[in-house]
Amino acid sequence: MLGTLCRYLRFMGYDALSANSLSEGNRREDTLLLASAARSGRILLTRDRELARRGGDCAVLVAGDDVLAQIRELADRGLIIPEIRLTRCSLCNGILRPAAEGEIATADYAPRNRKGLRFYWCRTCRKLYWLGSHGENLEKRIKGGL
């Protein structure tokens, strides 16, 4: 239910896992989520009031429907600083490292004009990242929503 927020949090450099990794229909899903958050020292973000209540100080009820409203909520609570950092993969949550020239060259989606750009690589997904116009627009959306 907060998959888009999870991706945005990763773009902002936060270690964020999604409940999408759990199998659907698991009756113990809430208990597993709370246990996982406690075990890993994470805060559980949820739109489920009962789950937030059960989680106490380890859970936060996210009220907004729109991802920018959700980011604003978390920033207003002092839980995040809304800025793009490109330190985590938006897909797998892995830590990004500076990309090697060969990795940049083999990514057919990399921009031709690379002047002034820094590139980052996810070892797991084998995905290339850089802060180009898309990242700049994302940053404007995040900061503009505040």
Same domain, 5 and 47: yes
Q: Do 76 and 103 have their domain in common?
A: no
Asked if 4 and 71 sit in the same domain, the reply is: yes
CA distance 46 to 1: 8
Q: Verify that 4 and 75 share a domain, yes or no.
A: yes
Query: Model pTM?
Result: 0.88
User: Does 94 share its domain with 113?
Assistant: yes
Same domain, 64 and 120: no
Encode pLDDT of 105-135 as tens digits.
999 999 999 999 999 999 999 999 999 888 8
Q: Are residues 20 and 56 in the same domain?
A: yes
86-98 pLDDT, tens digit each: 999 999 999 999 9
User: 27: domain range?
Assistant: 1-86
Tell whether 97 and 70 lie within a shared domain: no
Same domain, 77 and 39: yes
State the alpha helices, DSSP H only, in the chain.
3-11, 29-40, 49-55, 67-76, 101-106, 133-144
Residue 117 within any structural domain of the chain: yes
